[in-house]
Amino acid sequence: MKQWQMDTGTVMHGVFGDPIKHSKSPVMHNRAFRELGLNAAYAAFHIKPGQLKDAVAGIRAMQFRGVNVTIPHKLEVMDYLDDIHEDARAIGAVNTIVNDDGKLTGFNTDGIGYVRSLKEEAGFAVAGKKVLMLGAGGAARGVAYALAKEGAASVRIANRTVSKAEELAEAIRPFAPAEGMSYEAIADVRDEIDLIVHNTEVGMHPKVDEVLIDTSWFHEGLTVSDIVYNPLVTRLLREAEAKGAKTHGGLGMFVYQGAYAFEYWTGREAPIAAMREAVLEAF
Ligand code: ATR
């Protein structure tokens, strides 16, 4: 890859966010570069609201090869790029930028990272399966889109604000049958569900003792997945495990979204095990 051999030697990467201090992306990517012997580096940049446009111009000026974009910039950044991949456009958010000789393209690796992690770590293939999503916020969008495109038989989205669930269902309906609903309405459809995916902040540090829905009906035939990874095992997953359900934690989604970004930037297969180890060590 031509871009990979830069005149300056070290190929630069980074993550733009606010806050950014606790990001595990630098340790994860730097470990991956080291593992493959690449002369490259990755750093975190605290980009405050109002500074994003200049920061993106800096990617070109300083010839960074790639950048991740996180909260709160994933939407606004789309205004400053030269091209946006169709998946990221449909999701309405960019988390990865690739710089090809000054041309910046935006991708979204959150949803595809999630689906790959589900397959690799829980052995769960989405095609033909019936999915229940909990939550319809920004994080849920990429996941819902990727599940639908992967061939889910149906995607039901439950949310406290039902109108938001209905909007998200509408957005993914070109790719899979989808409907929005309340948490109460889960009782009517629960017998049909193969996979539950939790996408809200309930159960995330510091609210670790909370769980969003009644779990008394969980059973062995169910896979329960939580995109929360702090803590690594949430109360939802503990209760699911107690009912004999298969469980899948959120760390894998983080690692695999990074792996896709790494592969876009370097053209090399991401060293997944080393990346996961680096993140765990940083906790
Ligand atoms: P993110 O980008 O992290 O997904 P978001 O877009 O603000 O953040 O979405 C947060 C999600 O968590 C939403 O689904 C939200 O439900 P509402 O759409 O009804 O607000 C959900 N959520 C957050 N706190 C919640 C709570 N205490 N109970 C139920 N749902 C909650």
pLDDT in tens, 39-88: 999 999 999 999 999 999 999 999 999 999 999 999 999 999 999 999 99
Nearest CA to ligand 1 atom 27: 202
Cite the beta strand spans of the chain per DSSP E. 11-17, 40-46, 66-69, 83-84, 96-100, 103-107, 130-134, 154-158, 178-181, 195-198, 223-226, 246-248
Q: Please name each of the domains of the chain with its CATH number.
A: 11-108+253-281 (3.40.50.10860), 111-249 (3.40.50.720)
Residue type, 191: D
CA distance 36 to 34: 5
* Beta pairing, strands 178-181 & 96-100: unpaired
Q: Is 113 annotated to bind ligand? A: no
Q: Give, to the nearest 10 degrees, the angle between helix 251-266 and helix 272-282.
A: 130
CA distance 253 to 247: 14
**Per-residue model confidence as pLDDT tens digits over 154-211:** 999 999 999 999 999 999 999 999 999 999 999 999 999 999 999 999 999 999 999 9
Q: Is this complex's ipTM strictly greater than 0.85?
A: yes
**Is the pLDDT score of 4 beyond 80?**
no
Report how far ligand 1's centroid is from the alpha carbon of 200 (Å).
5
CA distance 189 to 195: 12
State the catalytic residue, choosing from 2, 21, 53, 74.
Answer: 74
pLDDT for 7 equals 58
Q: How far is CA 35 from the centre of its chain?
A: 23
pLDDT for 283 equals 87
Q: Could you tell me if the CB of 67 is within 6 A of ligand 1?
A: no
**Per-residue model confidence as pLDDT tens digits over 236-273:** 999 999 999 999 999 999 999 999 999 999 999 999 99
Q: What is the pTM of this model?
A: 0.93
Nearest CA to ligand 1 atom 30: 160
Q: Could you tell me if the CB of 72 is within 6 A of ligand 1?
A: no
CA distance 138 to 160: 14
Q: Is 23 annotated to bind ligand? A: yes
Segment 206-218 shows an average pLDDT of 95
- The answer to whether 108 and 116 have CB atoms below 8 angstroms apart is no
Report how far ligand 1's centroid is from the alpha carbon of 83 (Å).
30
